[in-house]
Amino acid sequence: MRHLVFVYGTLMRGERNHRYLESSIYRGRWRTPPVYNLHSLTSYPVACPDGRQRLSGEVYRISRQTLCQLDGLEEYPLVYSRKLITTPWGPAWLYLQAHAPAEAIPLPSGDWRRRTARPQCRSGFEPVSIRQPFSAQ
C-alpha cells in the first residue's frame, strides 16, 4: 500500500535525513494552511497544531515500509503524533507534537530552510556569525 507524507524539516531534499525518502516519489513543494507553529530544536524542527503559520515543505509518495521507518525516526507515537492533512496530491501524513518543548525556538516563517543556523555536522549546528563593528577605545 502507498501513502503520502508531508515533510517540513530534515527529511526534505538536501537535508540530512532525506536518505529515508530516496526510494520515494517526489510529488512537489507545498505550503499548509496557516494552522501550525514551527519551532527549532537546533538540529531539527517541531511542528505543533493550533498556530497561525503555514508550514513549507515537500510531499512524497512512500511505501508502507518507508512509513514504518519514518515512524521509527520520529519516535511515533511516543514523541510525535501523525495527522492526515489534505494536499493537492491527496491526504498526506504530517508528524506533529502537541506542544513545543520549552527550549524550542520559534521559526516565524514556517520554513525550516530559512532558519539562521546551518548544519555543521549530523549532531549540531554552527551558529551564524554576526560581525560587530570595530570600536576604538
- Successive 10-residue mean pLDDT values, the chain, 137 residues: 95 97 98 98 96 97 98 98 98 97 96 74 42 39
C-alpha cell at 91: 491526504
Say if 122 falls within a structural domain: no
Report pLDDT for 117. 56
Check: CB of residue 80 under 8 Å from CB of residue 96: yes
Name which of 17, 9, 32 is nearest 107 in CA terms: 9
Domain count, the chain: 1
Structural domain span for residue 25: 2-113
Say if 120 falls within a structural domain: no
- Locate all alpha helices (DSSP H) within 27-137, ordered by sequence: 64-73
Q: What amino acid positions are annotated as catalytic residues?
A: 74
Cut 0.85: pTM above it: no
Residue 71 belongs to a domain with what CATH number?
A: 3.10.490.10
Name which of 4, 1, 8, 53 is nearest 26 in CA terms: 4
Nearest-5° Cα angle at 121, 119 to 122: 95
Say if 6 falls within a structural domain: yes
